Amino acid sequence: MPRLSLSWLGLGPLAASPWLLLLLVGASWLLARVLAWTYTFYDNCCRLRCFPQPPKRNWFWSHLGLIRSSEEGLLYTQDLARTYGDVWGWWVGPWHAVICIFYPTFIKPVLFAPAAIAPKDMVFYSFLKPWLGDGLLLSGGDKWSRHRRMLTPAFHFNILKTYVRIFNDSVNIMHAKWKCLASEGSAHLDMFEHISLMTLDSLQKCVFSFNSDCQEKPSEYISGVLELSALVRKRDEQIFLYMDSLYHLTSEGQRFRRVCRLVHDFTDSIIQERRRTLPDQGLDDLLKAKAKVKTLDFIDVLLLAKDEDGKELSDEDIRAEVDTFIDPNLSGCLSGHDTTASGLSWVLYNLARHPEHQERCRQEVRELLRDREPKEIEWDNLAQMPFLTMCIKESLRLHPPAVGTSQRCTQDIVLPDGRVIPKGVTCVISIFGTHHNPSVWPDAEVYDPFRFDPENTKERSPLAFIPFSAGPRNCIGQTFAMTEMKVVLALTLLRFRVLPAGEEPRRKPELILRAEGGLWLRVEPLSVGPQ
Collect all residues with Cβ–Cβ distance below 8 Å to 521 and sequence separation of at least 6: 188, 189, 191, 348, 349, 352, 498, 499, 500, 501
Tell me, rounded to whole angstroms, the distance of Cα 8 from its chain centroid. 57
Amino acid at position 410, single letter:
T
CA distance 262 to 285: 34
User: For the chain, how big is the Rg over CA atoms in Å?
Assistant: 26
Output DSSP code: residue 80. Answer: H
User: 184 - beta bridge partners?
Assistant: none
**Secondary structure of 486-516 as H, E, C letters:** HHHHHHHHHHEEEEECCCCCCEEECCCEEEC
The alpha carbon of residue 432 and the mean position of all alpha carbons in its chain are separated, in whole angstroms, by: 13
**Interatomic CA distance for residues 164 and 484, integer angstroms:** 7
- Residue 387 phi/psi, 5-degree rounding, is -70, -40
**Sequence-ordered strand ranges (E) for 131-191:** 187-190
User: Which amino acid is present at 307?
Assistant: D
Residue list, annotated binding site for heme: 475
Task: Judge if the upstream peptide bond of residue 374 is cis by omega within 30 degrees of 0.
Answer: yes
HEC profile for 428-480?
Answer: EEEHHHHHCCCCCCCCCCCCCHHHHCHHHHCCCCHHHCCCCCCHHHCCCCHHH
Are 317 and 299 within 8 A, CB to CB?
no
d(CA 144, CA 139): 5
**Alpha carbon distance 401, 419 (integer Å):** 30
**Quick one: residue 310, left, alpha or beta (phi over 0 = left, psi -120 to 50 = alpha)?**
left
Binding residues: 475
List of residues 6+ apart from 356 with CB closer than 8 A: none
Q: Which of 164, 216, 161 is nearest to 490 (CA)?
A: 164
Distance CA(292)–CA(282), nearest Å, equals 17
DSSP code, position 5: P
For residue 363, CA distances in Å to 170, 411, 491, 493, 494 come to 23, 52, 12, 9, 8
